Structure 1
Amino acid sequence: MESDSSLLKVHLYQLEEKLLKSEIRTSSEELSLLLKDDFFEFGSSGNIWSKSDFMGQEGAGAVKMTLSQFDMHQLSDDTMLTTYRIFDEDKVEHTLRSSIWKCTNGSWQMFFNQGTKTEGPN
């Protein structure tokens, strides 16, 4: 039987992957469920984004990205840090990523994300 930690790691990985799907990223309704109201991001572009920036017609925008080297680190009982790598197939760019997820009323939502450009997959 898998531990609660292993199950949570799989769940957060699935949520991270969900946020890479164009149909989720372009849906204000879906993004609203996955991002906390006070969500913010330090983008790999150098821009700072908030949840409200993604609530328009195009949402967070369509992308073609691949997630790898996913890991999870517990910050508290209801807060987790995820770290991973992203390859953006459209921009042909690699980034290191970190997200902070918070659980409220049994539902996990992303509170923070940061992307840092890197030269390659290592």
Structure 2
Amino acid sequence: MALELNRPEVVAQVEAAFEAYEWALIDNDVDTMNALFWDAPETVRYGIAEIQHGGEAIRRWRQTCAPVPRSRRLHRTVVTTFGADYATVSTEFTSDATPLRGRQMQTWARLREPDDAFGGWAIVAAHVSLIEPV
């Protein structure tokens, strides 16, 4: 069976969920950010200077972490979907807070009912890093 890549309706759903996460990040809306991460021990988030394993660890970290700068801007965002229930989102970001270039990757899976607030999508793994601009 061939896997369908980038079905337009699935890409649109993931883009909407990713945009909701990005707005929550900029607004420091911790409840929405937490809602968009899968609440399971298998969830992993590698941050710039920290590591969280499990939804509970991610929620605890979010209670004390500094908000991202409001000047954050995304560049070269790529959404790739695999079938109807799995996707990756890769993006680069900049802000006035640092001359470094950020990189962010998220793995998304449809783990909930499709009629929930985010189309059933949740982040199951994430990685954020900073590098010198090239």
Count of residue pairs brought into register by the alignment = 116
2:45 aligns with 41
Using the TM superposition, name which of 31-40 and 59-68 deviates more. 59-68
- Letter of the 1:22 counterpart: D
Counterpart of 1:62 in 2: which secondary structure? coil
- Letter of the 2:129 counterpart: T
Q: Greater RCO between the two (CA within 8 Å, min separation 6)?
A: 2
Unaligned runs of 5+ in 2: 1-7, 115-119
TM-score by length of 1: 0.74
> 1:100-121: CA deviations, max 9, x gaps?
011121111111111232222x
> 1:27-86: CA deviations, max 9, x gaps?
3x32331110132112232x3124323424735431112222111112343110001002
Change (3 A) 1:90 1:52: farther
2:109 pairs with 1:97: no
Counterpart of 2:38 in 1: which secondary structure? strand
2:68 pairs with 1:63: yes
Whole-angstrom distance in 1 between the partners of 2:83 and 2:129: 24
TM superposition outliers: structure 1 runs of 4+ over 6 Å: none
Whole-angstrom distance in 1 between the partners of 2:11 and 2:84: 14
Change (3 A) 1:114 1:72: same
**C-alpha contact 2:73 2:93 (8 A) present in aligned 1:** yes
**C-alpha contact 2:21 2:33 (8 A) present in aligned 1:** no
Whole-angstrom distance in 1 between the partners of 2:19 and 2:131: 24
Please state which structure has a larger fraction of its residues in strand. 1
1:116 aligns with 129
Q: Percent of aligned positions with the same letter in both sequences?
A: 10
Kindly report the root-mean-square deviation, in angstroms, between the aligned alpha carbons of the 2 structures.
2.6
Which is greater in Rg?
A: 2
Using the TM superposition, name which of 110-119 and 12-21 deviates more. 12-21
Unaligned runs of 5+ in 1: none
Using the TM superposition, name which of 3-12 and 106-115 deviates more. 3-12
